[in-house]
Amino acid sequence: MQVFQKLAPFTISAYCVILLPLAGCSFHQKVNQSVSHKSITHDFHKLSPQMTSDVAIHGFLLWVSLGFLMPLAILAIRMSRREEPRSKRLKVFFYLHVFVQILSALLATVGAVLSFKKLENSFTNSHQRLGLALYGAIWVQALIGFFRPKRGKKERSLWYFVHWMLGTMISLCGIINIYTGLKAYSNKTSRSATLWTILFTAEVLFIAFFYLFQDKWEYIQKQGVVLDNAPITVSNQQIPDGLYQKELQSEPCGKRIRFKNLFD
């Protein structure tokens, strides 16, 4: 319980940090709307080739981190639910989840450092503010994952809920921020991002479809089983002779003759 008392402030702060950028003041946005528009239209003319390359690398790193690896880690841990406890496949899925999440956090950190050092960050738009919140939330989620209580403890249920909820929010907000990043890239470089937007949308739809498909795959397989084709088992129970003779006597004469002819 002491571990969760230490993790509670980090969790609460992570939720607040994620929600604050989405609840920006409308008055502040109206004041800076005209200024931001002028700076954007003026900046892409001054954007050097090196700056353009840095923006592209930053976007690629965050695409791979939040747009591919993190959903892949969620799929891995989701698929592990169908495996037997303490089986080898369960361990493979679990360690795949851990490895991919660590790799995702490292790539996001590299993208954040690149953004802070080489890109202009005034934090006056939703993309930069949401990105800053995601950087902090990713490492809070990693720390929560390392402090996982053992199965059977009372704290395990609370830990699972916090870990699942925070991970889901990071993944969804990360996808949203990639879309806003593609729009910002198009504004800053005056290049069309339509192709990249279509490719990313196709990837998101494929991952969502695969997530729903693998969750219902076992149920779909059961729908193809026809119960009438089940093997017929012969009972070992013996019929009394008296009952058998009584049934033969109750049969019509024609049926008895046909039954007798079968053995002639």
What pLDDT, in 10s, does the model give residues 77-118?
Answer: 988 888 888 889 889 999 999 999 999 999 999 999 998 888
Rounded to whole angstroms, how far apart are CA atoms 65 and 42?
Answer: 31
Residue 7 lies in a domain: yes
Q: Which of 16, 233, 6 has its CA nearest to residue 132?
A: 16
For residues 121, 127, 133 and 137, what is the CA-based torsion angle, rounded to 10 degrees? -120
Q: How confident is the model at residue 222 (pLDDT cuts 50, 70, 90)?
A: confident
The contacts of residue 181 (CB under 8 Å, 6+ apart) are: 59, 62, 127, 131
Rounded to whole angstroms, how far apart are CA atoms 232 and 77?
Answer: 40
Residue 154 lies in a domain: yes
Per-residue confidence (pLDDT) for residue 50, from 0 to 100: 83
The contacts of residue 57 (CB under 8 Å, 6+ apart) are: 111, 114
Of residues 41 and 142, which shows the higher confidence score? 142
Which range, 57-66, 73-82, 215-224, 225-234, is most confident?
Answer: 57-66
Residue 247 lies in a domain: no
Residue 145 lies in a domain: yes
- Count how many domains the chain has: 1
Q: In CATH, what number is assigned to the domain containing residue 213?
A: 1.20.120.1770
Of residues 121 and 257, which shows the higher confidence score? 121
Q: What percent of the chain clears pLDDT 70, i.e. is strictly above it?
A: 67
Question: Helix, strand, coil % (nearest 5) of the chain?
Answer: 80, 0, 20
Give residue-wise pLDDT tens across range 143-197.
999 888 888 888 889 999 999 999 999 999 999 999 999 998 888 888 888 999 9
Per-residue confidence (pLDDT) for residue 53, from 0 to 100: 87
Give residue-wise pLDDT tens across range 37-70.
444 444 444 567 888 888 889 999 999 999 999 9
Per-residue confidence (pLDDT) for residue 151, from 0 to 100: 83
Rounded to whole angstroms, how far apart are CA atoms 61 and 178?
Answer: 11
Which range, 4-13, 95-104, 223-232, is most confident?
Answer: 95-104
Token pair for residue 24? 């920006």
Look at the block and give the residue holding tokens 């969760």: 4
Q: How confident is the model at residue 122 (pLDDT cuts 50, 70, 90)?
A: confident
- Report yes or no: 71 and 213 within 8 Å, Cβ to Cβ: no
Residue 253 lies in a domain: no
pLDDT mean over 226-234 = 52
pTM here is 0.65
Domain with 176, as residue range(s), is 2-223
- DSSP track, 108-149: HHHHHHHHHHHS-----SHHHHHHHHHHHHHHHHHHHHHTPP
Kindly tell me the sign of the dihedral angle through the C-alpha atoms of 215, 218, 221, 225: negative
Residue 234 lies in a domain: no
- Report yes or no: 111 and 61 within 8 Å, Cβ to Cβ: yes
Q: How confident is the model at residue 245 (pLDDT cuts 50, 70, 90)?
A: low
Residue 262 lies in a domain: no
Rounded to whole angstroms, how far apart are CA atoms 64 and 199?
Answer: 13
Residue 201 lies in a domain: yes
- What's 1's DSSP letter? -
pLDDT mean over 242-250 = 52
Q: How confident is the model at residue 231 (pLDDT cuts 50, 70, 90)?
A: low
